[in-house]
């Protein structure tokens, strides 16, 4: 017996779809069983799905029926463990599409093989094919993630096993395939729709492949396992944060977490690399972080165009950080002396120096430099008006 109870794969979004499916299954189970122990026969006769015989609506109804407590607990456990990261990556519409489409593929495969081995398709209930579709999707998306499995062999050998998803999910599918072939070749029913599991699992993986969904690398999976154990990004080593930032380059939270260990280890190049990967898009997400990198850490301003630096400086002004704003304006002036944005930067630096700090000397110096460099510039009249207000 191999029971997965956890994956070391933190998620970003609340699993609304996964939790909703679980709640729906539990409610249906409560309404269709006798004392929560076994499903009623009249429910099976009316709502079970027999491939090629039942109306299609029965495929949906059967996917929410379970025969006994072990059936529903096992299915919902697998869905909860593997479904949340899959939903997190696919998001709800594609996740639900994979869930039901994989279940249908599994039922078609089971019905077809039942016709070969058993003389005809059998009625089936349960969400196993759908859930194995989710497990198969997890197999493809997070092949190298760590799965925590409780094992029990003949009640004597028990323990916990941490294993990569590619091996444990592969083992589940192999066991289903072997059991299905064994029972099918003997012409007997084992009570489990093994081929629905196999068909659903492979269908889930292939659908993610067809959608070209992003997969986690081995390095990223290891980093996520460290995050799952550490519980907080601030407790993670630099190499793990670098792997995560490479996969999610514009995540301010990751970049902020990287800075402290990188400075402590004198790995300034790691900060420059991750800021280069994030690029100009980070200005919109976390302007304060970009300003801190450029002003306090003397970062590489070549990552950004003058127009982006001008916008960043304006954001710093509006957020109540005039010191960094002035530094950024001066950076534009020093690094791009003839750029069109430099005229506006000199004027804004003068305006900020006077309005905020009443620093007349700096303001005059900026305005004079602006008129010297851009004698016919658009900001010259505004600069002269400011000079008159300053008084010089």
pLDDT of residue 264: 94
Query: 142: exposed, middle or buried (C-beta count within 10 Å: 0-12, 13-18, 19+)?
Result: buried
pLDDT of residue 120: 77
Q: Is the pLDDT of residue 392 over 80?
A: no
Q: Looking at residues 11-19, what average pLDDT do you find? A: 96
CB of 301 closer than 8 Å to CB of 294: yes
Q: Looking at residues 19-35, what average pLDDT do you find? A: 95
For residue 289, give Cα distances in angstroms to 60, 205, 248, 285: 49, 39, 16, 9
Radius of gyration of the chain (CA): 31
Residue of 238, 276, 278 whose CA lies nearest to 257: 238
The model's confidence at residue 157, banded by pLDDT at 50, 70 and 90, is: confident
pLDDT of residue 130: 97
Structural domains in the chain? 2-210 (1.20.1540.10), 218-390 (1.25.40.10)
pLDDT of residue 154: 78
Q: Is the pLDDT of residue 339 over 60?
A: yes
- Higher pLDDT residue, 200 or 120? 200
Place of tokens 């492979």: 202
pLDDT of residue 190: 64
Q: Is the pLDDT of residue 99 over 80?
A: yes
pLDDT of residue 13: 94
For residue 389, give Cα distances in angstroms to 41, 189, 268, 326, 354: 91, 94, 44, 20, 10
Q: Looking at residues 344-357, what average pLDDT do you find? A: 93
For residue range 271-307, list pLDDT tens digits in order: 999 999 999 999 999 999 999 999 999 999 999 999 9
Q: Is the pLDDT of residue 184 over 80?
A: no
What does the block give as tokens for 181?
């072939």
């Amino acid at each position: 017996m191999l029971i997965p109870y956890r994956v070391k794969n933190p998620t970003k979004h609340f699993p609304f779809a996964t939790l909703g499916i679980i709640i729906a299954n539990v409610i249906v189970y409560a309404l269709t069983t006798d004392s929560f122990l076994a499903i009623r026969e009249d429910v099976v006769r009316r709502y079970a799905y027999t491939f090629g015989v039942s109306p299609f609506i029965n495929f949906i109804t059967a996917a929410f029926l379970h025969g006994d407590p072990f059936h529903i607990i096992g299915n919902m456990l697998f869905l909860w463990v593997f479904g949340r990261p899959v939903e997190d990556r696919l998001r709800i519409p594609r996740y639900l599409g994979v869930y039901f489409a994989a279940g249908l593929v599994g039922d078609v495969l089971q019905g077809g093989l039942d016709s070969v081995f058993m003389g005809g398709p059998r009625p089936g209930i349960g969400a196993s094919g759908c859930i194995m579709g989710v497990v198969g999707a997890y197999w493809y998306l997070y092949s190298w993630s760590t799965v925590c499995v409780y094992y029990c062999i003949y009640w004597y050998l028990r323990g916990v096993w941490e294993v990569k998803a590619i091996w444990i999910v592969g083992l589940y599918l192999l066991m289903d395939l072997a059991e299905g072939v064994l029972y099918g070749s003997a012409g007997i029913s084992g009570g489990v729709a093994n081929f629905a599991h196999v068909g659903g699992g492979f269908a889930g993986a292939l659908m993610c492949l067809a959608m070209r969904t992003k997969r986690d690398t081995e390095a990223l999976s290891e980093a996520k396992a460290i995050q799952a154990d550490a519980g907080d990004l601030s407790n993670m080593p630099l190499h793990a944060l670098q792997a995560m930032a490479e996969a999610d380059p514009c995540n301010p939270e990751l970049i902020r977490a990287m800075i402290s260990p990188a400075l402590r280890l004198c790995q300034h190049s790691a900060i420059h690399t991750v800021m280069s990967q994030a690029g100009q898009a980070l200005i919109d997400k976390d302007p304060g972080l970009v300003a801190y990198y450029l002003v306090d850490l003397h970062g590489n301003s070549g990552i950004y165009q003058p127009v982006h630096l001008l916008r960043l400086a304006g954001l710093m002004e509006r957020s109540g950080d005039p010191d960094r704003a002035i530094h950024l304006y001066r950076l534009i002036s020093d690094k791009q002396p003839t750029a069109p944005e430099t005229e506006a930067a000199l004027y804004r630096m003068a305006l900020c120096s006077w309005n905020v700090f009443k620093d007349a000397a700096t303001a005059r110096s900026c305005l004079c430099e602006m008129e010297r460099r851009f004698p016919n510039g658009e900001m010259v009249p505004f600069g002269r008006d400011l000079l008159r207000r300053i008084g010089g």
